Structure 1
Amino acid sequence: MEQKYIFSAVAASMLLSSPLSAKEVTEQQVVTHYADVAHSVYFDSLATAKILNSRIEQFIAAPSEAGFKQVKQAWLNARVPYQQSEVFRFGNPVVDDWEGQLNAWPLDEGLIDYVAAGYQFEMGNEGASANIVANTELIIGNAKVDTGKITPQLIASLNELGGSEANVASGYHAIEFLLWGQDLNGTNSGAGERAYTDYVLGKECTNNNCDRRGQYLQATAQLLVQDLEWMEKQWSAQTKDNYRQTLLSEPSENGLRRMLFGMGSLSLGELAGERMKVALEAGSTEDEHDCFSDNTHNSHYYNEQGIYNVYTGSYTRIDGQKIAGPSIADLVKQKDAKAAEQIQQQFDASIAQVGKLVDSAENKGQHFDQLIASNNKAGQQLIQDTIQSLVEQTKAIEKSATIIGITRLNPDTADHQF
């Protein structure tokens, strides 16, 4: 099912690849539409998180193999809109200060639950083997933490326990680990293989503490919904005194800078750098984004789709509805039609290039963790070509900024050299 979702989105993006309407638009209209798109993306992220939460509740009430598959598919579906939201993170502090509780990675999974013997974790992390599921009390340094009752509030308080960023207790990746378990295949084929019986009560329970594991999974999903409810309201036109009002009260130039900085920073420092270059150069499957489920190709694709959405003022909602409106692409075309065509071509080339990672995984049987293998020269080259395409896309974003009069953009490189 997920594969169909991916390629319908690819098709949608290609339909939008021609320069948008030549009608005159204003900077303020573009920023307002940006806020509308952001709200739609977070609304869909919330909707799919609620479905995930519901599937988890149903599964925990009556664990089964079929129910477990439904929960996993609900998680995969929930990633589709959320990954398109990450373009709003950079440039909008309200998002950047918040998103760590939802999408932080990589994580020392031993904080949460059992792991295989000899698993690699961050050196010096006292919480790396805390195993909240198995323990009702933790001792971290001189601090004693009561984990007897697993609630959304407890999980939120345990994020970055002991000051370590690797102690990720909440969010999509904590849920992913609780559904798939560790991927112990290295750069070979295969994802995590957690059994549904890890949630069965009584004698059929595998790996102990099935009741607390179920409590943790439910509480984490509930926290995810609560967090997304808050962010959806921050972009809603029906809510007063929220971030949307703050954004739209600023000079439109500030809004455009936030948009362009967000696109450039996700394109360069985050997607090309942190999410591809780091894993490629280290040959590290631990630095793969959706590492437990082997969903990384989709995660990367929808990050790129989010960048494309902001530039073109477009978004395809989870119900198939297509949103389009005043965009940066329109502003660029009004200033320089020839340059606008060249820039659009680069965006089309980049989304097609990231789409090759999807094709590799879904049609050729080589997922991201196999592509980075030291003996897979063709796979490594595919990732390197994708990184380079994102670098070129970032140059196109910077050129767009110059054309419409936004100076000193300086997208975040995350300290990577390209």
Structure 2
Amino acid sequence: MQLRKLALAAAIGGLLSACAQTSTPAITQDQVVEHYADIAHAVYSDALIAAQDLDKAIAELLANPSEQSLNAARSAWLAARVPYQQSEVFRFGNPIVDDWEGQLNAWPLDEGLIDYVAPGYQHELGNPGATANIIANTQLQVGGELLNVSEITPELLASLNELAGSEANVASGYHAIEFLLWGQDLNGTNAGAGERPWTDYALGENCTHGNCDRRRDYLQAASTLLIQDLQYMAGQWQPDQDNYRAELTALPAEEGLRRMLFGMGSLSLGELAGERMKVALVANSVEDEHDCFSDNTHHSHYYNEKGISNLMFGEYQRIDGSTLQGPSLLQLVAQQDGQAATQIGDQFRTSEQAVYQLVQSAEVNKVHFDQLIASDNPQGNQLVENAISALVEQTRAIELAANTLGISNLNPDTADHEF
């Protein structure tokens, strides 16, 4: 990480020096917006590739159920989260993304809608679908409606999202697949993730918990739908097409920058600092942990932060190891105010390091996010508080960038949290 920080500092220094040289052509707002779209296309394309790899691992699990094939599918899911979490910065400010993403990444979810759960599990009060168990039933009685769920298809899963008007009824997406691969994490704020046995996907007498055939169908349908959804969004950012990218880049460049900066600030403040960290910390609630079945929350938070950072610095490291680099927001700011650009770059490095401490806690010290938020872990609580505070300061740096570029009243979404 220290090498990463040094490299990042050198890169920023190079950017600012380049801007100071009169022989270097100034970058334009249009170029920055165009590169923003390039990064979006690269990130969604990578998310699609990773989802296709996950689908192959799921196919192997279903063809040859074993501890090894289940663990391989879990590893593929973890890898798929890396590019997708970096895509969430495109949600806010781009309605086409915000309207679409719920089918892929909605959480927290009442997992009893999907499959068996432990007795007395916590779910949203008054949710009629909280224990519907699609896998165990071919018909669902929800209120006065009788639903036929005999054939589990991608289309069926899409239709069951927010069943009976409850946002906790999540039938598809990354977290539905996560639950199907890990099962419930019944450890509370103690160490440990979900421990679903591979035999939940075995056929015949080796099947555990019943309905293994329908569980297999559900996992495959969820994986297929994930790929279909990502194909759609990657296509929306492809160049030289009649799509959302064309619509965005046809707008005045200032509007493109506004959407870009609003998305960065809203993910940094209301969503990541608020919904994904503060809510779980204040309530000491593992039910509000982002990747709660796999205990991968530290990485999801960090790659959300990387997605924000990617846009400020105009860089994205693709899953094949290559780097996409181009005209950046920070360069644009530096052309107007070098001191402001230095301040923003410093804050972004500080914020990234603060969020990375959550990764180090999990990967080095083996203390994961659900343990950090425990009421009897003041040191862990402070680590999360530090990350929240750093994200708040990062949002101020984003607002400084906006003001420097003449974009006033950015008002990033706070999700009704006070900081």
Q: TM-score range by the shorter chain?
A: over 0.9
Match of 1:148 in 2: 150
Deviation per CA, 1:28-79: give whole Å up to 9, x if none. Answer: 0000000000000000000000110111112101111111111000000000
Deviation per CA, 1:88-110: give whole Å up to 9, x if none. Answer: 00000010000000000000000
Mapped contact 2:5–2:349 kept (Cα < 8 A): no
Mapped contact 2:105–2:173 kept (Cα < 8 A): yes
Match of 2:134 in 1: 132
Q: Distance in 1 between matches of 2:410 and 2:133?
A: 43
Question: Any unmatched runs of 5+ in structure 1?
Answer: 1-5
Residue 259 (structure 2) pairs with residue 279 (structure 1):
no
**What is the deviation of 1:17?**
4.7
Deviation per CA, 1:344-393: give whole Å up to 9, x if none. Answer: 00000000110000000000010000000011000000000110000000
Taking structure 1 as reference, are residues 359 and 11 closer, same or farther at Cα in structure 2, changes over 3 Å only? farther
**DSSP-derived class of the 2:86 partner:** helix
Match of 2:86 in 1: 84
Match of 1:211 in 2: 213
RMSD between aligned residues: 1.4
Q: Which runs of 4+ in 1 moved over 4 A?
A: 6-17
Match of 1:196 in 2: 198
Residue 40 (structure 2) pairs with residue 28 (structure 1):
no
Q: Distance in 2 between matches of 1:372 and 1:78?
A: 25
Match of 1:3 in 2: none
Match of 2:414 in 1: 413
Count matched residues.
412
Match of 2:363 in 1: 362
Deviation per CA, 1:178-209: give whole Å up to 9, x if none. Answer: 00000000000000000100000011111000
Deviation per CA, 1:10-34: give whole Å up to 9, x if none. Answer: 7875664546242410000000000
Q: Distance in 2 between matches of 1:302 and 1:145?
A: 38
**What is the deviation of 1:339?**
1.2
Match of 2:345 in 1: 344
Q: Distance in 1 between matches of 2:264 and 2:8?
A: 16
Match of 1:225 in 2: 227
Q: Distance in 1 between matches of 2:5 and 2:187?
A: 29
Instruction: Judge which range, 31-40 or 6-15, deviates more.
Output: 6-15
Superposition map of 1:5-404 within 5 A: 16-18=11-13, 20=15, 21-22=18-19, 23=24, 24-238=26-240, 240-404=241-405
Question: Any unmatched runs of 5+ in structure 2?
Answer: none
Taking structure 1 as reference, are residues 274 and 7 closer, same or farther at Cα in structure 2, changes over 3 Å only? farther
| Aligned amino acid, residue 380 of structure 1 | N
Deviation per CA, 1:377-411: give whole Å up to 9, x if none. Answer: 00000000110000000000000000011111000
Q: Distance in 1 between matches of 2:4 and 2:160?
A: 36
Taking structure 1 as reference, are residues 10 and 216 closer, same or farther at Cα in structure 2, changes over 3 Å only? farther
Q: Distance in 2 between matches of 1:151 and 1:16?
A: 48
| Aligned amino acid, residue 253 of structure 1 | E
TM-score by length of 1: 0.97
| Aligned amino acid, residue 256 of structure 2 | G
**DSSP-derived class of the 1:323 partner:** strand
**DSSP-derived class of the 1:145 partner:** strand
Taking structure 1 as reference, are residues 12 and 218 closer, same or farther at Cα in structure 2, changes over 3 Å only? farther
**What is the deviation of 1:9?**
7.6
Mapped contact 1:87–1:303 kept (Cα < 8 A): yes
Q: Distance in 2 between matches of 1:323 and 1:284?
A: 38
Instruction: Judge which range, 56-65 or 111-120, deviates more.
Output: 56-65
Deviation per CA, 1:220-249: give whole Å up to 9, x if none. Answer: 0000000000000000014x2100000000
TM-score by length of 2: 0.96
Q: Distance in 1 between matches of 2:411 and 2:398?
A: 11
Percent of aligned pairs sharing the same letter:
63
**DSSP-derived class of the 2:84 partner:** helix
| Aligned amino acid, residue 186 of structure 1 | G
Mapped contact 2:27–2:332 kept (Cα < 8 A): yes
Mapped contact 1:17–1:348 kept (Cα < 8 A): no
**DSSP-derived class of the 2:274 partner:** helix
Mapped contact 1:44–1:318 kept (Cα < 8 A): yes
Taking structure 1 as reference, are residues 201 and 14 closer, same or farther at Cα in structure 2, changes over 3 Å only? farther
